[in-house]
């Protein structure tokens, strides 16, 4: 059995996303203005348009957490894809040198 390794690119992208998430939350808490609350929606942009009917007061926090978890999963998979493409390019370059 092989060992399961985490994708470095995926983890870096997820880390950047979490930093964006923390920044948006802090900015929304400290901002004073008309559209400051909209900063909280920035990290869940792709899903907010699909799930606006679930964003009632009753389900807002649960749906927000689910959207964040979906984004984390997708961002990690995109990072894994970058890793695979990099490995493919590296193998192709090594074959062409032989």
* CA–CA separation, 18 and 40 (whole Å): 13
Helix (H, G, I), strand (E, B) or coil at 26: helix
pTM > 0.85: yes or no: no
pLDDT digits (tens, 9 = 90+) for 57-71: 677 778 788 888 989
Q: What is the largest CA-CA distance in the chain?
A: 63
- Domain boundaries along the sequence of the chain: 9-97
- Across 65-81, average pLDDT: 89
* CA–CA separation, 7 and 75 (whole Å): 11
Residue 14 is predicted with a pLDDT of 93
């Amino acid at each position: 059995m092989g060992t399961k390794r985490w994708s470095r690119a995926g983890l870096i992208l997820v880390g950047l996303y979490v930093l964006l998430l923390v920044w948006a939350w802090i900015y929304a808490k400290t901002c004073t203005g008309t559209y400051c609350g909209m900063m909280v929606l920035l990290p869940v942009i792709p899903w907010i348009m699909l799930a606006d009917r679930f964003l009632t007061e009753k389900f807002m926090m649960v749906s927000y957490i689910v959207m964040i978890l979906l984004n984390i999963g997708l961002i990690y998979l995109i990072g894994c894809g970058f890793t695979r493409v990099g490995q493919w390019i590296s193998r192709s370059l090594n074959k062409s040198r032989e």
